[in-house]
Amino acid sequence: MEDNIAQDIIVKEVKDFNLDFVLKIKKLEIENLGEVSGINEWVIPVIIKYGKLIIAIKKAKQQINNGEDLIIGVNELIRDWDNFNCAFIHSFYIKKGFRNKGIGSILLKKSIEILKKDNIKKLELTVDPKNQTAIRLYEKFGFKNYEFIEDLYGKGVNRNLMICEI
Ligand SMILES: CC(C)(COP(=O)(O)OP(=O)(O)OC[C@H]1O[C@@H](n2cnc3c(N)ncnc32)[C@H](O)[C@@H]1OP(=O)(O)O)[C@@H](O)C(=O)NCCC(=O)NCCS
């Protein structure tokens, strides 16, 4: 894989979609987050229509991947009902094989630019307290640990709530 991969990455908000696209995201969810925490065809269209789905795409070079662009990063958000200037990152991931190359940082940076245009001023998310890579990434962008929440997503599934003013 090329070293300067960042040059080929496009980050964009998804507005139009079809079942083919939804099933592609579903597959990525399972591969990168697992069956339990990944969302499926019942939720992905809802996030696109009523929340926000931002993706990182690696532009196809001819002969690679049949000339098809490859989705290598996903950021799914919903907006806070009580605070319209606040959004919650439901899921954030980079496709296996593309991690630790700075693509998560590109996706988060560009996502923040998109969200600022929508007048979002505050971002919240939860992260596994043991997920050092994700925590390192979020801290780099100014996220601060706000609260440790025990059993949030199931018995023993503890999360750190992190918050960032953007
Ligand atoms: C978390 C995730 C999105 C990060 O994406 P990425 O493309 O690898 O991120 P980047 O390469 O931009 O940055 C990763 C940072 O973590 C650091 N890092 C990597 N492994 C680390 C570790 N074990 N401990 C601490 N820091 C680590 C890297 O050095 C880099 O920091 P730097 O920019 O200061 O050098 C990606 O690993 C992922 O998809 N993980 C699986 C899903 C997931 O956990 N999502 C988060 C859910 S809240």
Radius of gyration for the chain, computed over Cα atoms and rounded to the nearest angstrom:
16
**Residue 67 pLDDT:** 66
CATH of the domain at 105: 3.40.630.30
Measured CA to CA, the distance from residue 150 to residue 42 in angstroms comes to 27
What domain range is 99 assigned to?
A: 5-165
Rounded to 5°, the CA angle 146-149-151 comes to 165
Domains: count for the chain: 1
103 C-alpha to center of ligand 1: Å? 9
**pLDDT, tens digit, 9 for 90 and up, residues 124-134:** 999 999 999 99
pLDDT of 1 > 50? The answer is no
Q: Which residues line ligand 1 (CB under 6 A)?
A: 32, 92-94, 99-105, 127, 131-134, 136-137, 140
Instruction: In whole angstroms, give the CA distance from residue 66 to residue 108.
Output: 28
Which residue is listed with tokens 């960032």? 164
What is the rounded distance in angstroms from the CA atom of residue 107 to the CA atom of residue 57?
10
> What is the distance in A from the centroid of ligand 1 to the CA of 85?
27
pLDDT tens digits, one per residue of 135-152 = 999 999 999 999 999 999
- Full-model pTM: 0.94
